[in-house]
């Protein structure tokens, strides 16, 4: 994965950002407590479990003795995380010493969980009502197809056969930061947008869900309720049907949006309607590092700059079109070539040569992935050379100083500018010097002092 | 590199640019006017008038400051920009100082124009197969 500028934080970062009162409300639900516990770093998990039946505050100094000295940094990270999520609450006694106490709601719910065992947020509908449900394979293909359809619409692709029913203002919310639109021009993918497309599906999903939740208040919806519902959703069983009647109005509206994204599938019976969580939904509470979905590569690049992508995905075709010239789009094969003109189109959008090369290497077809290198060197070198060809002229806004009355004054000014790292050019013979434009006022002040 | 060779040969066939004449400097920066304003306040007494006179005399030798763009590039691109400057009418010439074969100082407002001319030149030297 290339250096991703788009921070695809998971839910727990959003949870941690909530104000204390809302966070405490969130812990009314045992499922959220469980999800939070799952998301903690290992040491923080240990501390949470260790404190589960301790009701009195434990001194911070005493807690530091739970780890060896060389793990003090890990200890600090774990404690910070517990405090951010308000699993631990800081307590100060009369002697101003810091102690940590467990959040009472969190503690109560987790104790009950241990004693009674886990339960589902809601019972699935019996199979006598739903008759035939989609198989897991069908659900997965539905989810990916729906998600891809959303992504194509997100990047304003002309390949969208059937768009989602999101309003244009909602789409603009999702596109914020991914697409840029100049006056009169069609929106184009930004550097962040390209990086977004290169992310794996779970990371993309978190980004979109974050935008969805962040914009909730603009739609008159409480973000806390949304977060609560989404975390709850991840505890539903994959492939089981759950009735829409058990949902609140906010949740029912959210479910329809989630169906557009491929997180759930909606179905209608004679009397009932129900939703079926897909794998995308059950992955919501998984942390980024737990993700183990390694997609198989599909791209073969030849030394003659021809490119063959063995893929049925229209989204893959759109991604390749960003930096290559797609010549044929067959049902399961995309044939293209990497040309200077197509790469310049990508460079103008802010996509870098390194991003393109990383994409080609990480998505190399299994037949070429083991070769060294997976992408021919003449191709990667040429991509880099074409990029540097764009940057042959370097321009810096500056001030030129001339007509110095004395050599001594000229030398002092040169040294002054050089010491501040703002000297761009000097010509001792003609006594000229050039400094960055932002340094002009300081230089003027320096000249005044030399008077 | 085929493209570079093509570009170099294209540039080498260009007519040699006429010798550059540096245009007159742009107006002096506010530094001198500040000095003049300061000097004007010291004309009360004979001794001070003498100091004012010496200040004014020194002001005439004060440093000129010119705002512009400092350009660094390789020799072929520098020649391209010089040729571009030569092809402009006199009122549109933009090179203030040719510092050396790879550096120049130009008017501050011509950055976008130069970039688009370079891009245009690059496009003229490439062929895109019709779709």
Q: What is the pLDDT of residue A369?
A: 84
In a domain, B83, yes or no: yes
Measured CA angle at A372 (ends A369, A375), to 5 deg: 65
Distance separating the N- and C-terminal Cα atoms of chain A? 58
Alpha-carbon distance values, B13 to A162, B7, B10, B121 (Å): 55, 10, 5, 14
Whole-number Å distance between alpha carbons of A443 and A431: 15
The residue range of the domain holding B109 is: 67-123
For residue B67, give the nearest of A409, A437, A447 by CB distance: A437
Local confidence band at A279 (pLDDT 50, 70, 90 cut-offs): confident
More confident residue, A14 or A148: A148
CB–CB contact B65 A400 (8 Å): yes
Which region among A183-187, A244-248, A369-373, B100-104 has the lowest average model confidence (pLDDT)?
Answer: A183-187
Q: How far is B89 from chain A (nearest CA, A)?
A: 23
Tell me the mean pLDDT in the region B22-37: 36
CATH number of residue B76's parent domain: 3.30.70.1220
Whole-number Å distance between alpha carbons of A300 and A334: 10
| Cβ-Cβ contacts under 8 Å, B74 against chain A | 392
Q: What is the pLDDT of residue B45?
A: 37
Whether A129 contacts A269, CB under 8 Å: yes
Total domains, chain B: 1
In a domain, B6, yes or no: no
| DSSP H or E stretch at residue B88 | none
Whole-number Å distance between alpha carbons of A446 and A417: 10
Q: What is the pLDDT of residue A376?
A: 92
Q: Position of tokens 């921070």?
A: A7
Q: What is the pLDDT of residue A121?
A: 67
| Cβ-Cβ contacts under 8 Å, A434 against chain B | 70, 105
In a domain, B103, yes or no: yes
Whether A304 contacts A313, CB under 8 Å: no
Q: For each of the domains in chain A, give its residue range(s) and CATH number, in order of start.
A: 9-114 (1.10.10.10), 134-281 (no CATH), 297-389 (no CATH), 396-448 (3.30.70.2610)
Q: Please tell me whether residue A180 adopts helix, strand or coil conformation.
A: strand
Chain A CB within 8 Å of residue B70 CB: yes
Chain B CB within 8 Å of residue A295 CB: no
| Cβ-Cβ contacts under 8 Å, A424 against chain B | 70
Written as six digits, the tokens of B113 are 């124009």
What value does the CA radius of gyration of chain A take, rounded to a whole number of Å?
29
CB–CB contact B3 A440 (8 Å): no
Whole-number Å distance between alpha carbons of A225 and A340: 50
Give residue-wise pLDDT tens across range A341-373. 899 888 887 788 988 998 898 888 988 888 888
Local confidence band at A339 (pLDDT 50, 70, 90 cut-offs): very high
Measured CA angle at A213 (ends A206, A112), to 5 deg: 85
In a domain, B116, yes or no: yes
Of A56, A162, A171, A155, nearest to A104 (Cα)? A56
Give residue-wise pLDDT tens across range A20-72. 887 888 888 787 888 888 878 888 899 999 888 888 888 888 888 888 888 88
In a domain, B40, yes or no: no
In a domain, B8, yes or no: no
In a domain, B94, yes or no: yes
For residue A400, give the nearest of B1, B58, B105 by CB distance: B105
| Cβ-Cβ contacts under 8 Å, A443 against chain B | 65
């Amino acid at each position: 994965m290339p250096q991703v500028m788009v921070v695809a934080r998971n839910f727990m970062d959003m949870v941690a950002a909530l104000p204390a009162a809302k966070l405490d409300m969130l812990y009314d639900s045992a499922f959220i407590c469980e999800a939070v516990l799952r998301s903690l770093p290992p040491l923080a998990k240990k501390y949470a479990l260790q404190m589960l039946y301790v009701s009195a505050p434990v001194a911070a100094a005493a807690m530091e003795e739970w780890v060896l000295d060389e793990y003090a940094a890990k200890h600090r990270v774990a404690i910070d995380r517990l405090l951010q999520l308000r699993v631990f609450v800081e307590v100060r006694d009369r002697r101003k010493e810091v102690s940590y106490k467990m959040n009472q709601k969190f503690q109560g719910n987790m104790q009950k969980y241990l004693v009674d065992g886990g339960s589902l947020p809601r019972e699935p509908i019996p199979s006598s009502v739903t008759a035939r449900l989609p198989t897991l394979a069908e659900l997965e293909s539905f989810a990916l197809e729906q998600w891809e359809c959303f992504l194509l619409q997100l990047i304003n692709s002309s390949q969208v056969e059937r768009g989602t029913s999101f309003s244009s203002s909602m789409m603009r919310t999702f596109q914020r930061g991914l697409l840029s639109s100049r006056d009169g021009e069609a929106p184009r993918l930004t550097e962040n947008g390209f990086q977004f497309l290169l992310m794996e599906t779970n990371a993309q999903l978190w980004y979109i869900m974050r935008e969805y939740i962040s914009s909730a208040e603009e739609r008159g919806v409480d973000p806390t309720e949304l977060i609560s519902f989404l975390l709850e959703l991840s505890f539903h069983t994959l492939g089981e049907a759950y009735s829409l009647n058990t949902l609140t109005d906010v949740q029912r509206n959210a479910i329809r949006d989630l169906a557009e994204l491929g997180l759930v599938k909606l179905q209608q019976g004679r009397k009932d309607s129900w939703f079926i969580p897909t794998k995308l939904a059950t992955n919501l509470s998984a942390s980024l590092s737990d993700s183990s979905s390694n997609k198989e590569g599909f791209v073969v690049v030849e030394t003659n700059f021809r490119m063959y992508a063995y893929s049925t995905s229209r989204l893959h075709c759109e991604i390749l079109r960003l930096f290559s010239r797609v010549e044929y789009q067959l049902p399961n094969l995309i044939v293209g070539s990497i040309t200077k003109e197509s790469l310049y189109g990508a460079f103008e959008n802010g996509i870098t040569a390194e991003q393109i090369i990383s994409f080609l290497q990480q998505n190399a077809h299994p037949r070429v992935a083991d070769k060294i290198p997976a992408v021919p060197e003449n191709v990667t070198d040429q991509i880099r050379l074409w990029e540097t060809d764009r940057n042959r002229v370097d321009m810096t806004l500056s001030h030129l100083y001339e007509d110095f009355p004395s050599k001594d004054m000229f030398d002092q000014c040169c040294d002054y500018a050089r010491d501040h790292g703002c000297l761009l050019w000097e010509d001792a013979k003609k006594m000229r010097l050039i400094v960055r434009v932002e340094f002009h006022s300081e230089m003027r002040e320096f000249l005044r002092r030399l008077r | 590199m085929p493209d570079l060779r093509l570009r170099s040969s294209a540039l080498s066939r260009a007519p040699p640019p006429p010798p550059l004449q540096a245009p007159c400097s742009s107006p002096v920066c506010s530094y001198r006017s500040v000095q003049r304003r300061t000097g004007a306040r010291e004309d009360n007494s004979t001794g001070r008038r003498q100091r004012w006179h010496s200040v004014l005399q020194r002001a005439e030798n004060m440093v000129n400051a010119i705002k512009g763009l400092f350009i660094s590039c390789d020799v072929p691109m520098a020649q391209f920009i010089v040729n571009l400057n030569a092809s402009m009418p006199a009122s549109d010439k933009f090179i203030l100082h040719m510092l050396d074969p790879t550096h120049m100082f130009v008017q501050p407002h011509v950055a976008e124009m130069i970039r688009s001319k370079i891009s245009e030149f690059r496009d003229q030297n490439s062929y895109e197969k019709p779709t």
